[in-house]
Amino acid sequence: MSTLTDVNTADTAPPRRPISDPLEADASTDAVASGASVLSLEDIQKLLPHRYPFALVDRIIDYAPGKYAVGIKNVTFNEPHFQGHFPGRPIMPGVLIVEAMAQVGGIVLTQMADLQGGLFMFAGIDGVRFRRPVVPGDQLIMTVELISVKRRRFGKMRGRAEVDGQLAAEGEFMFSLVD
């Protein structure tokens, strides 16, 4: 059982569009087979292998299979890394922000019919920049879009994480499908 609280704030957070061209995409034309563009924690656990303490996405608030996903991570003080990072001034480690964005990217990849059946792992991380600290009480909103897929085994994505509309981190991620 996770110590993360499942706060339903999807009603207050506006859906985001892909990073590259916000006016180009229309999620309504790419509805998921079930017709839902929101995934609960239980839905996410059916798609991703991550579990506490490494399950870092609480909800998917918008997505288009094979294109992009927008996920929420509610940052809470009772997460284990805050005991030592840093005592008296808790800050979410940058590597966990990157991992959270990668897990949102995993939702995009697992929803692609021709890429199912395997485990996606990092193959590379490029151009990651951290713009502001993420602290307990923050809600991290992560938008991750698929840039390319090669030979159905390698993918490249661009991610962006925001808190209160301010950029917290951004970068590009490469994935490899492992049998």
**In contact, 72 and 9? CB cutoff 8 Å:** yes
Contacts of 45 (CB under 8 A, 6+ apart): 51, 55
Measured CA to CA in angstroms, residue 172 lies from 14, 102, 150 at distances of: 23, 10, 16
Q: Given phi > 0 = left and psi -120 to 50 = alpha, else beta, which region is 122?
A: beta
Of the residues 85, 132, 153, 156, only one is catalytic, namely 85
81 belongs to the catalytic site: no
Length of the chain: 179
CA distances from 15 to 12, 23, 51, 89, 126 (A): 9, 13, 26, 31, 26
Alpha-carbon span 77 to 136, nearest angstrom: 5
Q: Which residues are catalytic?
A: 85
